[in-house]
């Protein structure tokens, strides 16, 4: 929050708001008497040294009256806002608590109310509640409520669908309690931001009602009334209208800027700059990384960091690897080891507040971290293909598959609508989607999971891909379709000489499909080795363990499946030394004291371990019923 206050936006918001609030408190005390003092000798005067904004019909000083009106104007606007927020929140969250039919009725009422312009509603309520201050406050409060109700409804509906709410419901927690305990605390922040910005709007509405004569009534006065009086004399003394007008604008601005500042502070809870100065200890630099000729992707000391309440989390630490043209490299590791983030960083898909740092991050010879956004979009749009895990969410459900594929060619290759669609059909045929001309006109839901994944690969082929990143592309598919998709990826690689980065938690899949395997653990590459002869060559105890726990057809089905005992560390709580040491049967004091460098073991093989395994053991890992390591070879080479 303090960091945001130090930005120009935060500073202006804080200064303006302080000024407005100070005036609201002090002005009636300091200028109260002057504002009501009638001077019949100075009636309706223009600006002068004694009266900077001139005087009104009773000779009262207009500047003093404008300053004194701050309290009433701000107070009433805030009161109206409070009513709006309270009524809006109740209406918005009611569907979560009420029986379904009544809830729907409330939603319908809110939808109808939202359709009416706010000021029209305020006028309607002002007539209902009667002319005067109370009526105006209620009118504006009720007029702003539908907008809030809509925001609260959307927010609470998204929270109500979360697993923890479902869990609370299953546990028998009552609806009202779920609302108070689980829903409200999770929607409070955006509501506060909206309320602060809304206070500015309420101020304007209030000034509007008073200006129209249905708000504050004489002898009370707010900025709206002063503005109304001033406008009657606009040609003789423009300053009389200008003063309250400027006050309304400045106070409205103060609330709006304040809302924006709170939003910025909430979106960036952790003072980024302070956290950045506390950089995490860098992972030891890798050495002896083989550099294939014509490298498509070069990654050196890549780290991905996220600010958390406890400081920086670094789920990817000092990752170094190179991907040659036509090479297929698999990335394996348990859930949370940083595989996807590494791939996302390579595709420049890490969003703020995530931070990507690297000594080198080059794709097709271009530095990704310094290439301008526009050039980057063209480069990645034509040369990089991504295949995601869930084929159900990879495509926009409202657009035909063919059109989605064609968009790539239209955007980046300057093809016309028809030409791009024809190419889309060709690409669907290339990825063996049956009846491609017909299928191109279908929507994603009309495709099976495997077919969608193939269409996704086809989308990558719309350009001239040099790298295909496939992040768990077969996890959501059944085994036979898995094989088809993997074969297709392999075929595409051979046809186009594109490099493939295949992310998987299944080391057997990777061993079958790739030339090289990168094994990740707690954000680091712990081993980089050729896929051929993986089982004999694996040196890191973690790789051995991953291989040992793969079940195969020859495994004894009476025995429980193999497991690696323990859990990987959280990115925010990495142990000193080797992160795998707490789970490793070979760990010594040295492992617990210092993180080993990823160093060349032999040709094309790197391992980060103080005690690399050289015999056929499973790395000293607790194994329950896993097949012997030597048997893995048959599976991998199958």
Ligand X SMILES: Nc1ncnc2c1ncn2[C@@H]1O[C@H](COP(=O)(O)OP(=O)(O)OP(=O)(O)O)[C@@H](O)[C@H]1O
Could you give the 3-state DSSP secondary structure of residue 323?
Answer: strand
- Interaction between residue 339 and ligand X (CB under 6 A): yes
| From 337, 404, 482, 513, residue interacting with ligand X (rule: CB under 6 A) | 337
Task: Tell me if 54 sits within 8 A of 47, measured CB to CB.
Answer: yes
Stretch that binds ligand X, among 61-69, 279-287, 333-341, 581-589 (CB under 6 A): 333-341
- Give CA–CA dist 614/441, Å, rounded: 56
Cα–Cα distance, 591 to 395 (Å, whole number): 46
Backbone angles phi, psi at 503, to 5 degrees: -95, 135
Q: Examine residue 280 and tell whether it contacts ligand X (CB under 6 A).
A: no
Binding region for ligand X (CB under 6 A) out of 264-272, 320-328, 338-346, 395-403: 338-346
Nearest CA to 140 among 123, 154, 155, 156? 123
Alpha carbon 342 to chain centroid distance? 17
Using CB under 6 A as the binding rule, whether residue 200 contacts ligand X is answered as: no
CA-CA distances (angstroms) from residue 304 to 301, 307, 346, 528, 530? 10, 10, 11, 20, 26
Residue 338 sits in the site that holds ligand X (CB under 6 A): yes
From the CB of 340, what's the least distance to ligand X, in Å?
Answer: 3
Q: Considering beta carbons, is residue 136 or 346 the nearer one to ligand X?
A: 346
Strands (E), 248-294: none
How would DSSP label each residue in 49-89?
SS-TT-B-TT--BHHHHHHHHHHHHHHHHHHHHHHHHHHHH
Tally Cβ neighbours within 10 Å of residue 231.
14
* Single residue of 95, 146, 198, 336 touching ligand X by CB under 6 A: 336
- In angstroms, what CA-CA distances link 504 with 41, 446, 555? 88, 27, 22
Q: Which is nearer to ligand X, 67 or 514 (CB)?
A: 514
The reply to whether 333 sits near ligand X by the rule CB under 6 A is yes
Nearer to ligand X, 408 or 520 (CB): 520
The residue from 83, 313, 518, 608 that contacts ligand X (CB under 6 A) is: 313
Each residue 546-585 as x (binds ligand X by CB under 6 A) or -, in order, gives: -------------------------x--------------
Smallest separation, CB 523 to ligand X (Å)? 7
Pick one of 315, 391, 450, 463: the residue that binds ligand X (CB under 6 A).
Answer: 315
- Shortest CB 182 distance to ligand X, Å: 22
Phi, psi (degrees; rounded to nearest 5) at 415 = -75, 150
Which is nearer to ligand X, 40 or 335 (by Cβ)? Answer: 335
Q: What is the 3 state secondary structure string of 351-366?
A: CCCCEEECCEEEECCE
Stretch that binds ligand X, among 66-74, 162-170, 332-340, 460-468 (CB under 6 A): 332-340
Query: How many whole angstroms separate alpha carbon 371 and alpha carbon 369?
Result: 6
Distance between CA atoms of 263 and 1, rounded to whole angstroms?
10
Count of residues that interact with ligand X, criterion CB under 6 A: 14
CA dihedral (567, 568, 573, 574) in degrees, to 10, reads 130
Paired with 362 in beta bridges are 298, 367
- The answer to the question of residue 306 lying near ligand X (CB under 6 A) is yes
Contacts of 615 (CB under 8 A, 6+ apart): none
Closest CB 303 distance from ligand X, rounded Å = 12
The verdict on 309 binding ligand X (CB under 6 A) reads: no
Which of 16-24, 339-347, 396-404, 483-491 is the region at the interface with ligand X (rule: CB under 6 A)? 339-347
Question: Which region among 14-22, 282-290, 336-344, 377-385 touches ligand X (by CB under 6 A)?
Answer: 336-344
Going by the DSSP 8-state scheme, the letter that residue 631 receives in this structure is G
Q: How far is the CB of 390 from ligand X (least distance, A)?
A: 11
DSSP β-ladder status, 295-308 and 360-363: antiparallel
Distances (CA, A) of 545 to 125, 548, 623: 71, 5, 8
Q: 324 or 523, CB closer to ligand X?
A: 523
Q: Name the residue nearer to ligand X (CB basis): 163 or 558.
A: 163
Q: Which is nearer to ligand X, 343 or 408 (CB)?
A: 343
Angstrom CA distances, 1 to 13, 141, 259, 279, 373, stand at 13, 29, 13, 20, 29
Minimal distance in Å, beta carbon 599 to ligand X? 23
One of 93, 303, 340, 410 touching ligand X (CB under 6 A): 340
Interface residue with ligand X, options 354, 582, 620, 628 (CB under 6 A): 354
Q: Among residues 291 and 351, whose Cβ is nearest to ligand X?
A: 351
User: CA 220 to CA 137: how far, in whole Å?
Assistant: 14
- Cβ atoms of residues 301 and 285 within 8 Å: yes
CB of 339 to ligand X, least distance (A): 4
When the beta carbons of 562 and 571 are compared against ligand X, the nearer one is: 571
| 305 near ligand X, judged by CB under 6 A | no
Beta carbon of residue 164, minimum distance to ligand X (angstroms, whole number): 17
Q: Is 596 in the site for ligand X (CB under 6 A)?
A: no
Of 335, 398, 480, 614, the residue at the interface with ligand X (CB under 6 A) is 335
Given the complex with ligand X, which of 153 and 303 has the nearer CB atom? 303
Q: Which is nearer to ligand X, 31 or 580 (CB)?
A: 580
Q: Work out the number of other CB atoms within 10 angstroms of the CB of residue 349.
A: 15
Listed ranges 295-303, 328-336, 552-560, 580-588: which one lies at the site for ligand X (CB under 6 A): 328-336
Q: Two tokens at 165?
A: 């709410």
Q: Which of 121, 152, 341, 581 binds ligand X (CB under 6 A)?
A: 341
Residue matched to tokens 């060619």: 409
For 449, how many CA atoms within 13 A lie in the half-sphere containing its CB?
14
Residues 453-512 that bind ligand X (CB under 6 A): 505
Of 105 and 563, which has the nearer Cβ to ligand X? 563
Q: Determine the interface stretch with ligand X among 68-76, 101-109, 177-185, 330-338 (rule: CB under 6 A).
A: 330-338
Binding site residues, ligand X, CB under 6 A: 306, 313, 315, 333, 335-341, 354, 505, 571
């Amino acid at each position: 929050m303090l960091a945001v206050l130090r930005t120009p936006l935060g500073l202006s918001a804080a200064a303006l708001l302080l000024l407005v609030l100070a005036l609201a408190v002090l002005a009636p005390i300091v200028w109260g008497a002057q504002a009501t003092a009638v001077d019949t000798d100075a009636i309706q005067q223009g600006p002068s040294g004694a009266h900077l904004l001139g005087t009104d019909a009773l000779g009262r000083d207009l500047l003093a009256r404008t300053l004194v009106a701050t309290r009433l104007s701000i107070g009433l606007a805030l009161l109206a806002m409070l009513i709006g927020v309270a009524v809006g929140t109740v209406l918005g969250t009611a569907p979560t608590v009420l029986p379904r039919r009544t809830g729907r009725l409330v939603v319908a009422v809110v939808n109808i109310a939202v359709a009416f312009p706010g000021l029209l509603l305020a006028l309607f309520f002002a007539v209902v509640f009667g002319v005067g201050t109370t009526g105006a406050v209620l009118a504006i409060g009720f007029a702003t409520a539908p907008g809030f109700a809509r925001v609260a409804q959307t927010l609470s509906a998204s929270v109500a669908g979360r697993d923890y709410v479902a869990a609370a419901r299953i546990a028998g927690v009552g609806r009202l309690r779920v609302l108070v305990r689980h829903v409200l605390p999770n929607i409070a922040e955006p509501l506060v931001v909206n309320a602060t910005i809304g206070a500015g709007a309420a101020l304007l509405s209030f000034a509007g009602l008073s200006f129209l004569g249905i708000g504050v009534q004489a002898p009370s006065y707010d900025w709206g009334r002063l503005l109304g009086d001033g406008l009657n004399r606009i040609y003789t003394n423009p300053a009389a209208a200008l003063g309250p007008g400027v006050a309304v604008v400045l106070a409205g601005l103060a609330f709006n800027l304040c809302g924006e500042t709170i939003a910025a502070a909430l979106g960036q809870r952790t003072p980024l700059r302070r956290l950045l100065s506390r950089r995490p200890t860098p992972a030891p630099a890798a050495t002896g990384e083989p550099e294939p000729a014509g490298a498509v992707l070069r990654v050196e000391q890549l780290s991905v960091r996220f600010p958390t309440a406890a400081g920086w989390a670094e789920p990817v630490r000092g990752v170094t690897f190179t991907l040659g043209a036509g090479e297929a490299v698999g990335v394996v590791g348990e859930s949370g080891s940083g595989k996807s983030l590494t791939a996302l960083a390579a595709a420049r898909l890490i969003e703020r507040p995530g931070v990507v740092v690297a000594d080198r991050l080059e794709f097709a010879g271009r530095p990704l971290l310094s290439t301008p956004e526009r050039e980057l979009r063209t480069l990645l749009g034509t040369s990089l293909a991504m295949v995601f895990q869930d084929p159900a969410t990879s495509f926009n459900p409202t657009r035909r598959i063919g059109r989605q594929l064609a968009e790539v060619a239209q955007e980046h290759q300057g093809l016309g609508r028809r030409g791009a669609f024809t190419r889309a059909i060709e690409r669907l045929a290339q990825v063996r989607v049956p009846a491609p001309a017909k299928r191109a006109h279908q929507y994603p839901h009309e495709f099976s999971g495997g077919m969608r994944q193939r269409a996704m690969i086809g989308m990558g082929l719309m350009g001239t891909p040099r790298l295909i990143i496939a992040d768990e592309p077969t996890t959501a598919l059944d085994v036979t379709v898995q094989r088809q998709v993997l074969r297709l990826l392999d075929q595409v690689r051979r046809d186009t000489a594109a490099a493939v980065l295949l992310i998987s938690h299944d080391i057997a899949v990777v061993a079958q499909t790739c030339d090289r395997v990168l094994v990740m653990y707690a954000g680091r590459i712990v081993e980089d080795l050729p896929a051929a002869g993986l089982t004999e060559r694996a040196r890191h105890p973690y790789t051995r363990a991953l291989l040992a726990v793969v079940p195969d057809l020859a495994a004894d089905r009476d025995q429980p499946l193999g497991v690696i005992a323990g859990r990987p560390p959280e990115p925010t709580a990495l142990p000193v030394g080797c992160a795998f040491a707490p789970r490793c049967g070979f760990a010594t004091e040295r492992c617990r004291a210092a993180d080993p460098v990823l160093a060349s073991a032999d040709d094309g093989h790197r391992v980060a371990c103080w005690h690399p395994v050289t015999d056929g053991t499973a790395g000293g890992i607790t194994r329950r019923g896993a097949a012997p390591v030597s048997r893995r070879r048959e599976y991998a080479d199958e």
